[in-house]
Structure 1
């Protein structure tokens, strides 16, 4: 096994689609994912897990039914399990890292056309 650093910029250069998380590595039972975000997602919740958003570039708002959390590059927010939320970008594309248990579906309980296929091709 070869040990090497993972270059996030190189991984982002390998895909352009938005709202479709890509697994870049695993940590125990968790997946570390990169995602490009642009526009508004769907309202959804993850009943069985928290969801961590770490903004790497751009500005992201996590809309919550009881308010919102605004994030800039270098900031993170953990959406607690079961809390309905809707990510929306401000002023263009956001690059973010997600940390979630293996197998989490990006649209949670909402489903629909923005549900991404499982993609670990960058790991």
Structure 2
């Protein structure tokens, strides 16, 4: 963890990979991650944790499969949304976006229940900033 302030603009400028979060800092047992996204991620769920999204640039959509049916939330720049634990969801950004995520350290980007991971999805638990 850095003992100096971290510029989100500089952090985002340091990588180009899509759907490949960078860990910018930690808070207790949680990672604060930034990611560049474009196109579709995969349907997935996190059985034991909520997932927090903050849109830094662009616009993000998150489709949700809930007991009442499927719906999509639209998150413009500056919007936040938390996907409740166990909720199957699929983030996508038709025109691209930059997002900040807050989730427990070690949480896989493809959730706990998934099939084959597409090539465009980096199925890690985040990369160190600059890595």
Return the alpha-carbon distance in structure 2 between the equivalents of residues 2 and 77 of structure 1.
26
* Structure 1 or 2: more strand by fraction: 2
Give the ranges of 4+ consecutive aligned residues of structure 1 lying more than 6 Å apart after TM superposition. Answer: none
Q: Deviations over 1:62-92 (max 9, x none)?
A: 00122111000100100000000001113x2
**For the residues of structure 2 that align with 1:68 and 1:53, how far apart are their CA atoms?**
14
- Distance of 2:64 and 2:74 partners within structure 1: 11
RMSD value, Cα = 1.8
- Unaligned runs of 5+ residues in structure 2 are none
Number of aligned pairs?
Answer: 122
CA contact (8 A) 2:11 2:129 kept: no
Aligned equivalent of 1:97: 100
TM-score by length of 2: 0.86
- Structure 1 portions without partners, runs of 5+: none
**Does the 8 Å contact 1:24/1:122 carry over to 2?**
no
- Residue correspondence of structure 1 range 1-123 to structure 2 within 5 A: 3-65=3-65, 66-90=70-94, 92-108=95-111, 109-110=113-114, 112-113=117-118, 114-117=121-124, 118-122=126-130
TM-score by length of 1: 0.91
SS at match of 1:93: strand
Report deviation, 1:2: 7.2
